[in-house]
């Protein structure tokens, strides 16, 4: 359980990166949300065997990470954490889909393997883009941007509370499991038996704590709207950012530069 | 201004499990008064304070802030008037950084961003936590959290300051600092505390709560002179009145 809490605390860390002040951080949140959305849509619109076409898309996360000065090891660790889940989803692809798609010398590569690889690539790209969005914008500001883009307020506030609630749950879980560990004197304690009441308590405590937090929020004048740190105005730079990335994604998606490059090379050196 | 009068009439609070936490509590605190509410653990102090800005609803009885009855409609205005510091700072801090957290209140009041930043800086300075501004609240020590929690309320510049055990968990220096700060605050202030020496220094008036009932309400000096009363309420004299522990001489 402690592993989960460290992961969640780590997620809070992600939020802290949003305090940075690079150019990427300064872009209007709505623009970043839209660009990320376009990116994700372009990536997932490929068919399941696509790899070549996806490669140019790695440019976007790389450029964003560099320009926003985000720590690469941290992001890499987050991605690795997600790896097992993707593998779980795609694990059977190589077994089920044995038709040969590629032939490298005498080695035949089955469609299943390709689709697994493609799945991994697509997951990394989309999840990476989402992580970068949070790390350069902050969750509160993203929710605000969504609201200004026309999402009903009820949903954004729900989203925010869910986000906060996750942290509350993790903190309570950590306390409870530490208390249990300390009193079970290094052994596994009463084992699974005590976990029943532990989780029961945990839910109640989380519920109460969330309620108390809500009370303190109300007593500080909370009326159902979160106010983020930046009150942005749409600038020319924002517009350029939006248009240039959207056009790039569109070109990458439709022209398939990797294939173009490939045919150019094979064309040039027959 | 009659703005800062706090009046409680026959307040009764029964929790959902049947615990009677408060029973016909009445008092009136006028503008500029500094009042301590003391009592044993579980006496109902926190419960009482939470009624003062409508965090919980009374089973019966009424609360008036500046002659305005506390109802659903007046709640937002009353919450702007009454600043509340809760017993557990963990419940009060939830934003990604200390700065954001202190800015939460002023932003809700609709202050422009520059003014908010100024207020936040001032409030953090007052509690000696200016150097913590960019830290995440969950990485602070207990006392630091407490100080930031106090700053979150100061930043809203309330007319009535209500604090639940403000000095618990503070180091001696921070405690002194807070006491100085409270002395400077000239509006109405109400707080609970087990720090009876602070009560003696800061509050001319004290209310003793015992098992949900007001046992005494009067001048702090008189109350701490009454040994019977203190013993009956699981309290004792402040150390300042107990005489020197080394030479065993009594001050009175
Ligand atoms: N949510 C609740 N449900 C049921 N009973 C409660 C609840 N909260 C508090 N109580 C009970 O109400 C009584 C008063 O609690 P309260 O928190 O007001 O005490 P307190 O005077 O603040 O004590 P302390 O000095 O320990 O902070 C206690 O007996 C407590 O057990
Ligand atoms: Mg209490």
Judging by DSSP bridges, how do beta strands B82-85 and B160-164 pair with one another?
A: parallel
Nearest chain A residue to B109 by CA: give it. A221
Q: Positive or negative CA dihedral for A226, A232, A237, A238?
A: positive
pLDDT of A8-51, one tens digit each?
667 777 888 888 888 888 888 899 999 999 999 999 888 888 88
| Most B-contacting residue of A25, A216, A225 (CB-CB within 10 A), to test interface | A216
Tell me the pLDDT of chain A averaged across its residues: 80
Helices (H), chain B: 45-51, 75-81, 98-108, 113-126, 142-154, 172-184, 196-202, 220-225, 227-232
Answer whether residue B1 shows pLDDT above 50. Answer: no
Q: Which two tokens stand for residue A247?
A: 């056009």
Per residue in B46-56, pLDDT (tens digit) is 999 999 988 88
> A204 — contact with chain B (CB < 8 Å)?
no
The token pair at B148 is 């930031």
A180 and chain B in contact, CB less than 8 A: no
| Predicted pLDDT at B174 | 86
Sort out which chain B residues have CB atoms less than 8 A from A213's CB and list them. Answer: 91-92, 94
The DSSP bridge pattern shows strands B6-14 and B20-29 to be antiparallel
Q: Is the pLDDT of residue A89 over 70?
A: yes
pLDDT at B15 (0 to 100): 94
Residue A49 neighbours by CB under 8 Å, 6+ apart: A101, A111, A114, A115, A118
Domain segments of chain B as ranges: 2-87+160-248
Position A268 confidence tier, pLDDT thresholds 50, 70, 90: low
Cβ distance of A19 and B134 shorter than 8 Å: yes
Q: Which atom in ligand 1 lies closest to the alpha carbon of residue B17?
A: 4
Average pLDDT for residues A128-157, to the nearest whole number?
A: 86
Partner residue facing A229 (CB), from B79, B90, B100: B100
Q: For residue B163, which of B83, B90, B79 has the smallest C-alpha distance?
A: B83
3-state secondary structure chain A: CHHHHHHHHHHHHHHHHCCCCCHHHHCCHHHHHHHHHHHHHHHHCCCCCCCHHHHHHHHHHHHHHHHCCCCHHHHHHHHHHHHHHHHHHHCCHHHHCCCEEEEECCEEEEHHHHHHHHHHHHHHHHHHHHHHHHHHHCHHHHHHHHHHCCCCHHHHHHHHHHHHHHHHHHHHHHHHHHHHHHHCCCCCCCCHHHHHHHHHHHHHHHHHHHHHHHHHHHCCCCCCCCCCCCCCCCCHHHHHHHHHHHHHHHHHHHHCHHHHHHHHHHHHCC
- Alpha carbon A147 to its chain centroid, in Å, reads 20
Q: Report the chain A residue with the minimal C-alpha distance to residue B158.
A: A220
A6 band by pLDDT with thresholds 50, 70 and 90: low
Taking only the tens place, the pLDDT of each residue in A170-217 is: 777 777 777 777 776 666 555 666 667 777 877 887 888 888 888 888
Higher pLDDT, A236 or A107: A236
Q: Which of B15, B52, B53, B91 to mutate to test the interface with A (most CBs of A within 10 A)?
A: B91
Q: Is the CB of B45 under 6 A from ligand 1?
A: yes
Instruction: Find the ligand nearest to B87 CA.
Output: 2
Please tell me the pTM assigned to this model: 0.76
Measured distance CA(B214)–CA(B221) in Å, rounded: 17
**Phi, psi torsion values for B40, nearest 5 degrees:** -70, 170
Q: Which residues have a Cβ under 8 Å from the Cβ of B187 and sit 6 or more positions away?
A: B4, B31, B32, B158, B159, B160, B161
**Sign of dihedral through CA atoms A84, A90, A95, A98?**
negative
Ligand number nearest to the C-alpha of B39: 1
**Sign of the dihedral through C-alpha A30, A34, A35, A40:** positive
Q: Sort out which chain B residues have CB atoms less than 8 A from A222's CB and list them.
A: 104, 108
Strand order in the sheet with B160-164: B82-85, B160-164, B188-192, B34-38, B205-210, B213-219
Residue B199 has pLDDT above 90, yes or no: yes
Q: Select from 3.40.50.300, 3.30.390.10, 3.40.50.1110, 3.40.50.261 the CATH code of B2-87+160-248.
A: 3.40.50.300
Per-residue pLDDT at A224:
73
Helix (H/G/I), strand (E/B), else coil: A100: strand
A222 min Cα distance to partner chain B (Å) = 6
Nearest to B91 among A9, A209, A227 (CB): A209
pLDDT for B225 beyond 70 = yes
Nearest CA to ligand 1 atom 7: B15
Q: What is the mean pLDDT of residues B237-249?
A: 79
Report CB contact under 8 Å: A220, B152: yes
pLDDT tens column, B131-174: 999 888 877 888 899 899 999 999 999 999 999 999 988 889 88
| pLDDT of A129 | 93
If one counts every other C-beta atom within 10 angstroms of the C-beta of residue A255, the result is 12
pLDDT at B61 over 80: yes
């Amino acid at each position: 359980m402690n592993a989960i809490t460290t992961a969640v605390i780590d997620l809070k860390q992600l939020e802290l990166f949003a305090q940075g002040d690079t150019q990427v951080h300064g872009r209007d949140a709505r623009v970043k949300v839209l660009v990320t959305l376009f990116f994700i849509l372009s990536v997932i619109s490929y068919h399941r065997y696509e790899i070549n076409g996806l490669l140019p898309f790695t440019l976007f996360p790389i450029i964003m990470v560099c320009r926003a000065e985000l720590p690469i090891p941290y992001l890499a660790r987050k991605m690795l954490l997600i790896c097992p889940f993707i593998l779980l989803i795609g694990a059977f692809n190589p077994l089920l889909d044995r038709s040969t798609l590629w032939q490298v010398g005498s080695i035949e590569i089955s469609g299943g393997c390709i689709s697994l690889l493609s799945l991994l690539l697509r997951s990394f790209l989309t999840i990476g883009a989402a992580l970068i969005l949070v790390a350069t914008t902050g969750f509160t500001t993203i929710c605000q941007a969504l609201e200004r883009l026309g999402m009903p307020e009820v949903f954004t506030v729900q989203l925010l509370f869910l986000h906060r609630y996750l942290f509350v749950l993790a903190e309570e879980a950590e306390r409870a499991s530490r208390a249990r560990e300390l009193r079970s004197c290094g052994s596994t304690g009463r084992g699974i038996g005590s976990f029943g009441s532990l989780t029961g308590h945990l839910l109640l405590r989380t519920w109460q704590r969330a309620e108390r937090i809500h009370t303190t929020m109300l007593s500080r004048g909370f009326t159902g709207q979160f106010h983020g740190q930046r009150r942005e105005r749409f600038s020319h730079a924002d517009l350029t950012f939006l248009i240039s990335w959207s056009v790039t994604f569109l070109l990458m998606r439709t022209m398939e530069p990797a294939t173009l490059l490939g045919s150019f090379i094979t064309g040039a050196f027959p | 201004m009659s703005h800062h009068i706090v009046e409680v009439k026959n307040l009764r609070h029964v929790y959902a499990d049947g615990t009677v936490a408060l029973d016909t509590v009445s008092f009136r605190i006028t503008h500029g008064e500094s009042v301590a509410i003391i009592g044993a653990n579980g006496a109902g102090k926190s419960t009482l304070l939470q009624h003062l800005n409508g965090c919980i609803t009374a089973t019966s009885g009424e609360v008036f802030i500046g002659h305005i009855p506390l109802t659903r409609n007046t709640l937002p205005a009353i919450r702007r008037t009454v600043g509340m510091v809760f017993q557990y700072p963990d419940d009060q801090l939830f934003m990604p950084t200390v700065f954001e957290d202190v800015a939460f209140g002023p932003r809700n009041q609709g202050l422009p961003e520059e003014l908010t930043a100024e207020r936040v800086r001032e409030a953090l300075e007052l509690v000696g936590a200016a150097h913590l501004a960019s830290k995440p609240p969950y990485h602070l020590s207990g006392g630091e959290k407490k100080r930031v929690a106090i700053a979150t309320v100061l930043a809203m510049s309330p007319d009535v300051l209500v604090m639940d055990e403000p000095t618990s968990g503070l180091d001696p220096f921070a405690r002194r600092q807070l006491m100085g700060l409270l002395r400077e605050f000239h509006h109405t202030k109400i707080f609970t505390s087990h720090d009876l020496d602070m009560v003696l220094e800061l509050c001319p008036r004290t209310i003793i709560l015992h098992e949900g009932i007001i046992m005494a309400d009067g001048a702090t000096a008189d109350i701490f002179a009454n040994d019977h009363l203190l013993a009956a309420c699981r309290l004792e004299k402040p150390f300042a009145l107990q005489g020197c522990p080394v030479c065993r001489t009594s001050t009175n």
